[in-house]
Structure 1
Amino acid sequence: MKQPVTIPKSSLDFLQQLKTNNNKPWFEANKTKYLNELNHIEAFAGALLQELSKTDVLETASGKKSVYRIYRDIRFSKDKTPFKTFWGGSFTRATKERRGGYYFHLEEGNSFFAGGFWGPSAADLKRIRSEFAHDATPMQKIVQSKSFVETFGTLQGEQLKTSPKGFDINHEAIDLLRYKQFLIIKRFTDAEVLSPFFLEQALETCLNMRPFFDYMSEILTTDSNGASVL
């Protein structure tokens, strides 16, 4: 029987050591250890990508390509530490017809999978809100479904304190209309991340994002009359 691809404890331990020694000399002295742990993360990401690709079309070429560089861009940051202290990566859905993407973040005490729309353009946000104002039922059904609630709890993201311009404060879907971001997040304990079942749980989490992604894709690829804009 094939052994499941797992995240070893050493991969999280390395990050803890890096937090304590976030400098180039230490990193260079431990480069071999870093590359070994990176290989574990890339193998896990590759296995997840392979499973995800059975039900979705992704443009991310490989697990290796999905994992973000550990080197921080410090040009415009007050924090000048040179390295990220988490493993992160993403899988991008292919073509303009498929919106949304899968993001993973692995770090001791702070591991999660997430997806959604972090910074929608003004045009996309207007289109989303106009759809919710017209008929919020499909999205309400998605975020109130058993699989969504059990996996993600609630829709997350920055919200306005009042109503967006042009929309009634008393609109029945005002709770959805206030969102400026549309994020879904599933957090995992360290024990879950290190479990032999984590790949299975990660895949299930991503699959449970699909109704949300698919409906948002439908909104963002059509006009208010439902005609394709692609």
Structure 2
Amino acid sequence: MLKKSVFDFLLELRENNNREWFHANKKRYELAKKDFQLFIELSIEQIKTFDPSVSGLSAKDCLFRIFRDVRFSTDKRPYKTNFGAFIAKNGRKSRYGGYYIHIEPEQCFLGGGCYMPASNVLKAIRTEIFHHPEEFKGIIENPEFQKHFPELYGEKLKTAPRGFPKEFTHIDLLNYKHYAVAKMIDDPIVNSDQFVNEIDNTFKALYPLNRFLNEIVQDL
């Protein structure tokens, strides 16, 4: 299970998001990061039992930095108040669909798919759905998928995307800006041995969507 040191550090960081406190607690950060990294290593092993595309990854390939880029932001807090990892072929910057684990007190979630895909990837996904809408609907309307992800994540266009006919029967499936999902997880579950099973069940339900997306991405 996820070690308590991860949550404890993030809770205190949220109240002390400044460089002085962080440097004074650098060893605690390194311990929490190491514990989260180990948890992700085990999660990769778990996921590759049903999705072999993540084989060969290490946690270091998947973890996001805790340091915020504040150059163009009005929010000058220097650190993120979460640990996150995107487990996908080629790691955290991959254009492939994958599995995301987000640990943040009161805001933990599991998710995945293709978030903020590049324009050519987004167009290719929409084109595939346009030609095979029933296959895509079969994935996102599957009862097991719906149990974890009742809807796709994020904003939608208000009209048909450029290059696609407005009268297309399933135009709503093409209007998404992301082909991603997210599922909030309560803190008590994250901090218990139930979390491993939650990851397993949730990501197994997500796998058919990632498989659909990655068959498109690999041909680009």
Identity percentage of aligned residues: 35
Matched, 1:89 2:85: yes
1:11 aligns with 2:9: no
Q: Deviations over 1:44-85 (max 9, x none)?
A: 111111122233222663224432222222222222211111
Match of 1:108 in 2: 105
Letter in 2 for 1:89: A
Asked whether the equivalents of residues 61 and 90 of structure 2 are also in contact (C-alpha less than 8 Å), the reply is: no
User: Tell me, what secondary structure is at the counterpart of 2:100?
Assistant: strand
Return the match for 1:46 from 41, 44, 50. 41
Aligned to 2:161: 164
Q: Does 1:72 align with 2:68?
A: yes
In 1, Cα distance between the equivalents of 2:123 and 2:35? 42
Mapped contact 1:87–1:106 kept (Cα < 8 A): yes
Aligned pairs, how many? 216
Match of 1:3 in 2: none
Superposition RMSD in Å: 2.2
Which residue number corresponds to residue 29 of structure 1? 24
Give the structure-2-normalised TM-score. Answer: 0.88
Q: Which moved more, 1:120-129 or 1:14-23?
A: 120-129
How far the C-alpha of 1:199 sits from its partner, in A, is 1.5
Counterpart contact for 1:7–1:41, Cα < 8 Å? yes
Structure 1, 128-137 or 172-181: larger mean CA deviation:
128-137
Distance 1:160 1:74, change over 3 A: same
Rounded Cα–Cα distance in structure 1 between residues aligned with 2:6 and 2:116: 31
Say whether residues 1:20 and 2:19 are aligned partners. no
| Residues 1:58 and 1:173: Cα distance change in structure 2 (over 3 Å) | same
Larger Rg: 1
SS in 1 for 2:54: coil
Alignment partner, residue 138 of structure 1? 135
3-state SS in 2 of match to 1:57: helix
Offset at 1:152? 1.2
Structure 1 unmatched runs, 5+: 1-5, 222-228
What is the deviation of 1:125?
2.5
Q: Name 1:207's counterpart in structure 2.
A: 204
* 1:47/1:220 CA distance change after superposition, 3 Å: closer
Q: Name the residue aligned to 2:145.
A: 148
Structure 2: gaps of 5 or more residues: none
Please give the alpha-carbon distance, in whole angstroms, between the structure 2 residues aligned to 1:124 and 1:8.
Answer: 37
